[in-house]
Structure 1
Amino acid sequence: MIQAVIVAVAAVSLVFFRRKYRRGGTITVIEAFRARMKIVFLALAVCSLCSKVVVHTYRHFNPPPPPIIGP
């Protein structure tokens, strides 16, 4: 669910970026860099969420052995 929201936000930001560029507004190098960085950070956020889910699922189905207590 969270990943779908992040992907939707990335798609909407791309649409707004493209619309501004098509209207004839000039885009500066800094604006282009910011737009690329937003996309990169969103992609990293999605990747981190997915990796956490994979690790949590693995640990859930493969718990560590119980500690050995005694002499």
Structure 2
Amino acid sequence: MIPAFFTAVAVVSLAVCWRNDRCKGMTRIEIFRMRMKTLFLVLVLCSLCSKVAVHTYRHFNPPPAAIVGP
């Protein structure tokens, strides 16, 4: 599922960039590298933000204490 998602995003980003005037004069490889760098940056930022959200939630809502013994 995940590789299919990345492939779809890569194809769509290339298609969008080919139609963009900003990408004129660039080769397909340059366009692909530019879009993949952007995608990688977005994924890194999303993972960091989700980790912060989970950490904050767990900080303010700790699990109940474990009951030890009979």
Q: Give the aligned partner of residue 47 of structure 2.
A: 48
Q: Return the alpha-carbon distance in structure 2 between the equivalents of residues 35 and 42 of structure 1.
A: 11
Q: What TM-score do the two structures reach when normalised by structure 2? A: 0.64
The residue type equivalent to 1:54 in the other structure is A
- Larger relative CO (CA 8 A, sep 6+): 1 or 2? 1
Relative to the length of structure 1, the TM-score reads 0.63
**1:10-41: CA deviation from partner (whole Å, max 9, x where unpaired):** xxxxxxxx6xx67xxx3110010000000000
Q: Any unmatched runs of 5+ in structure 2?
A: 1-21
Distance 2:26 2:61 in 1: 51
CA RMSD in angstroms, aligned pairs only:
1.5
Count of aligned pairs: 49
Note if 1:33 corresponds to 2:32.
yes
Q: Which ranges of structure 1 fall in alignment gaps of 5 or more residues?
A: 1-17
